[in-house]
A = this chain, B = another copy of it.
Amino acid sequence: MAQNIYDDPAFFAGYSDFPRSRLGLDGTAEWESFRALLPPIAGKRVVELGCGFGHLSRWLAAEGAQRVLAYDLSEKMLAAARAASADAAIDYRRADLDTLVLEPQSADLVVSALTLHYLADFTRITTMIHTALVPGGDLVFSVEHPIYAARAVPEWVPASDGRDAFAIADYSVEGPRRTDWIVDGVVKYHRTLATMLNTLAGAGFTCRAINEWRPSEAQLAANPDWAATELTRPMFLIVAVHRPEGRSH
């Protein structure tokens, strides 16, 4: 079973105070980049894997999704999501993404934000999603960028040019990373970009676009201190892939 840190009271309290939790999508630096990779939503049967407080699922419903199946492992987050909206198009469901099996060809679009790096088995989840999508369907997801996630603890180091560089290590050593983030012992899984893209291709997906997130010029103007950090190394990776029409695989 996937680790359920979000139901840890200390983690839940800490995470609930983050801008992305309090402000929703507008408190999420990478949201505009994520949205830019989404196909049209109206009329679609959408699945969200790792819905958290439900911000994205509510946006999808507001965009006219036919229905949104919103899965999460955390009872606390699902309770908060249900309390925030009674939109009949959204069905919040508790599930362990390590074992969840969706109905074949039941979804036009699967989305997942900053969730899949908690799963040990990327092959299983991508194969399952491919089966769950109709031919012509889309998967759009974000994860921590492997440059950022290669070391368990992000670290800045002074470099010879007088600036702080980002320390990368163990990029090619895939596997669990135990980190103390809000609470001790949070486990995420580091996978290289090549592994993710090749696994998606092996599952039958074709790549539409990838985004190694960097702030827009407007975001840099509003947050001048981001130039020294967010242009140095990408924190988020956003991937948009497609299940081709007319092929079973």
Q: CB within 8 Å of B: which residues of A?
A: 147, 151, 153, 155, 157-161, 163, 165-173, 192-194, 197-198, 201, 206-212, 214, 230-234
Contact = CB atoms under 8 A, between A and B. Distances in A.
B211 A207 contact: no
Contact of A167 (B159, B173, B209): B159
A230 B96 CA distance: 36
B209 A201 contact: yes
B232 A212 contact: no
Number of copies: 2
A48 to B, nearest CB: 24
A170 B233 CA distance: 7
B197 A232 contact: no
Which of A170, A172, A230 gathers most chain B CB within 10 Å?
A: A172
21 contacts: A147-B168, A151-B159, A153-B160, A155-B159, A155-B160, A155-B165, A159-B167, A165-B168, A166-B167, A166-B169, A168-B232, A168-B233, A171-B232, A171-B233, A172-B212, A172-B214, A172-B232, A194-B212, A197-B197, A197-B207, A198-B209
Nearest to A206: B206
Nearest to A196: B210
